[in-house]
């Protein structure tokens, strides 16, 4: 996106956050606060993201009134987007709680009521590539508002990750807590794993008896011009790997026209079924590490990525699996890791970055909406 166009867009976002949206909130603030009303809000999708599904189900089972407030602003158009945001602000003014899992500008467009509890269950685990205020590619210097000031709690996957989230969201000490990430609970559910396998073989019977290698790259560029790197090299390996290996490519949803193979399964379901994960800088590696199965990072643009975005960790030293930058080594390294992964490194990786993900993160997060000692930023 040209610099001038991007700057104008960020100025409009700042203006909305400081004028129209707080007016909508204040107009509904006199209404009675409904402590049982929990809003699940997202501006990147028209339906509830997977990252919030388990928490919504848990809170509904506990008697809370759970309401989805989702809209893909990239498709809604200017009028549709304004209508959605104003509607959210009015509901926000009377809600006892709000849950988000992505950047959500309207949440921070007002001085929220003290009785409203806001929880960020960020959509990814660990602390890998820099995000938020750590990089201008996420929060532009032209944006003068806030993407985090109303957070009461941000859940993270381990104590090791707290400093990264405090930097990325400019949080006060104590806001980021190692409660685990709700979306990871299914990785400890054997019944769920069996159902995923049954679904895979029912939808794709040709995969039965094969080792599934899943390629899950993140996207480059911005949300409007997202693209992948390294897909062609992975696809070229299909005929070179052993016959009992099957390769599936699942590009990021933001990549328009990207490959979405085995589309009848969600990404989470595919992660559960995969015998090996190949990625680059996607945080999916943290979730997959819980399964103690082989991984590999295919990073042909590592030098460029380091200079443009960078990481919170040392990708060459801290990751538990090989990091490959040369395509001539790719096939050989895949077979080597698939045959003999160093599980000692995987255990140490999980202990450091995923220690709070133990299958009970959803319940711990749901408890936040019942606790009397909850600290409010309102």
136-172 pLDDT, tens digit each: 888 888 888 899 999 999 999 999 999 999 999 999 9
For the chain, the domain total comes to 2
| CATH label of the domain that carries residue 122 | 3.40.50.11820
Q: What percent of the chain has pLDDT over 70?
A: 96
On whether both 204 and 172 belong to a single domain, the answer is no
Q: How confident is the model at residue 321 (pLDDT cuts 50, 70, 90)?
A: very high
Q: What is the pLDDT of residue 87?
A: 97
- Residues 221, 312 within the same domain: yes
Give the pLDDT confidence score for residue 372 in this predicted structure.
Answer: 61
Burial 47-76 (b: 16+ CB within 10 A, else e): ebbbbbbbbbebbeeeebebeebbbebeeb
Residue 375 in domain = no
Do 176 and 198 sit in the same domain of this protein?
no
Kindly state whether residue 348 falls inside one of the protein's structural domains: yes
Same domain, 271 and 177: no
Same domain, 107 and 232: no
pTM score: 0.92
Flag whether 103 is in a domain. Answer: yes
Same domain, 263 and 306: yes
Same structural domain, 78 and 223: no
Is 33 domain-assigned? yes
Does some domain include residue 265? yes
Range of the domain at 19: 10-184+359-367
Give pLDDT tens digits for 173-216.
999 999 999 999 999 999 999 999 999 999 999 999 999 999 99
In a shared domain, residues 167 and 199: no
Average confidence score pLDDT of the chain: 93
Residues 103 and 204 both lie in one domain: no
Is residue 145 domain-shared with residue 215, that is, in the same domain? no
| pLDDT of amino acid 374 | 54
Q: 107 and 166: one domain?
A: yes
- Residue 2 belongs to a domain: no
| 275 and 344, same domain (yes or no) | yes
Q: Look up the CATH number of the domain holding residue 260.
A: 3.40.50.12580
For residue 160, give Cα distances in angstroms to 83, 172, 338, 343, 371: 40, 16, 28, 20, 25
* Residue keyed to tokens 């959210």: 88
pLDDT digits (tens, 9 = 90+) for 218-252: 988 876 788 899 999 999 999 999 999 999 999 98
Tell whether the model's pLDDT for residue 72 goes beyond 70: yes
In a domain, 295, yes or no: yes
Tell me if 213 is assigned to some domain: yes
């Amino acid at each position: 996106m040209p610099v001038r166009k991007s700057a104008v867009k960020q100025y409009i976002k700042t203006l909305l956050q400081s004028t129209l949206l707080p007016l909508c909130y204040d107009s509904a603030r006199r209404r009675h606060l409904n402590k049982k009303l929990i809003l699940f809000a997202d501006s990147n999708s028209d339906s509830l993201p997977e990252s919030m599904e388990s928490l919504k189900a848990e809170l509904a089972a506990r008697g809370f009134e759970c309401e989805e407030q989702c809209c893909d602003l990239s498709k809604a158009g200017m009028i549709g987007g304004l209508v959605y945001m104003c509607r959210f602000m009015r509901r926000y003014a009377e809600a006892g709680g709000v849950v988000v899992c992505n950047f959500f500008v309207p949440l921070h467009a007002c001085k929220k009521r003290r009785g409203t509890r806001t929880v960020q269950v960020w959509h990814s685990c660990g602390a890998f590539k820099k995000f938020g205020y750590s990089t201008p590619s996420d929060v532009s210097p032209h944006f003068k508002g806030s993407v985090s000031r109303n957070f009461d709690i941000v859940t993270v996957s381990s104590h090791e990750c707290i400093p990264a989230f405090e930097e990325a969201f400019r949080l006060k000490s104590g806001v980021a807590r190692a409660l685990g990430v709700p979306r990871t609970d299914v990785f400890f559910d054997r019944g769920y794993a069996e159902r995923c396998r049954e679904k895979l073989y029912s939808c794709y019977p040709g995969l039965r008896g094969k080792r599934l290698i899943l390629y899950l790259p993140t996207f480059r560029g911005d949300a409007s011009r997202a693209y992948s790197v390294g897909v062609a090299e992975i696809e070229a390996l299909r005929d070179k790997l052993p016959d009992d290996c099957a390769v599936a490519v699942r590009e990021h949803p933001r990549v328009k026209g990207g490959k979405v193979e085995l589309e009848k399964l969600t990404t989470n379901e595919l992660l559960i079924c995969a015998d090996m994960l190949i990625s680059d800088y996607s945080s999916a590696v943290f979730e997959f590490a819980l399964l103690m199965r082989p991984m590999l990072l295919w990073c042909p643009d590592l030098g460029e990525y380091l200079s443009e975005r960078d990481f919170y960790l040392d990708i060459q030293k801290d990751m538990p699996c090989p990091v490959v930058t040369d395509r001539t080594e790719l096939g050989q390294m895949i077979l080597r890791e698939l045959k003999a992964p160093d599980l000692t490194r995987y255990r140490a990786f999980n202990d450091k970055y995923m220690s709070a993900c133990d299958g009970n993160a959803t319940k711990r997060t749901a408890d936040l909406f019942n606790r009397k000692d909850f600290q409010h930023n309102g």
